[in-house]
Amino acid sequence: MSELASSSRAKRPEFRNIHALSDLPTYRLPPAGWVSILHRISGAILFLLMPFIVWMFDTSLSSEFSFAKFTSAFSNGVGFVPGWFFKLVALAILWAYLHHFIAGVRHLWMDINHAVSKEFGRSSAIVTLSLSLGLTVVLGAKLFGLY
């Protein structure tokens, strides 16, 4: 006991007041950890971009005239905002939706099957990450007119 109480032992780290810039980048997350934090980040992105999503819903649906405005926003831009910027925001929504969707299905699958083994957690996380990123690249290339 005296050894434990002695001050010669290295000071144990404390995890209070985690600093976003100096601490967070030093964390090394397993794949499931990445899926988890990206699930939260993608949800926050979709929340913040919600007015833009509803704007797209509105302009694409309301009339033939507004539909033309919708398509021209992505090619010619609106006001001082260039068209590529609209595409970039759409790309962010695309990734956020794909990740949130696939990670959500993974959640549901684990709830239904009680498939909470360490190995399934890891392999399904890798599938989630590669599927969401892969689909973002494929659909994003279409969005930017690469094919």
Partner 1 sequence: MAVNFGSKRIVVGAHYGLRDWLAQRVTAVLMALFTLVLLAQVILFQGPIGYDKWAGIFSAQWMKALTFSVIVALLYHAWVGIRDIWMDYIKPVSVRLSLQVFSIVWLVSCAGWAIQVLWRL
Please choose, out of 3-11, 72-80, 100-108, 114-122, the segment that lies near partner 1 by the rule CB under 8 A: 100-108
| For partner 1, the closer CB: 82 or 91 | 91
Rounded to 5 degrees, what are φ and ψ at 68? Answer: -65, -40
Q: Is residue 144 at the binding interface for partner 1, with CB under 8 A as the rule?
A: no
Q: Which stretch binds partner 1 (CB under 8 A): 6-14, 22-30, 37-45, 127-135?
A: 37-45
Q: Does 47 bind partner 1 (CB under 8 A)?
A: yes
Distance of alpha carbon 60 from its chain centroid, rounded? Answer: 25
Cα–Cα nearest to 55, from 40, 69, 76, 75: 69
Residue 3 CB-density burial (10 A; 0-12 exposed, 13-18 middle, 19+ buried): exposed
Q: Note whether 50 binds partner 1 by CB under 8 A.
A: yes
- Under DSSP, the state recorded for 33 is H
Unique residue bearing structure tokens 């000071």:
11
Q: State how far the Cα of 111 lies from the Cα of 137, in Å rounded to an integer.
A: 29
Q: Which is nearer to partner 1, 46 or 82 (CB)?
A: 46
Candidate residues 61, 81, 138, 141; the one interacting with partner 1 per rule CB under 8 A? 61
Give the nearer residue to partner 1 in terms of CB position, either 18 or 137.
18
Judge contact between 90 and 74, C-beta under 8 A. Answer: yes
For partner 1, the binding residues (CB under 8 A) are: 40, 43-44, 46-47, 50-51, 53-54, 57-58, 60-62, 64, 67-68, 101, 104-105, 107-108, 111
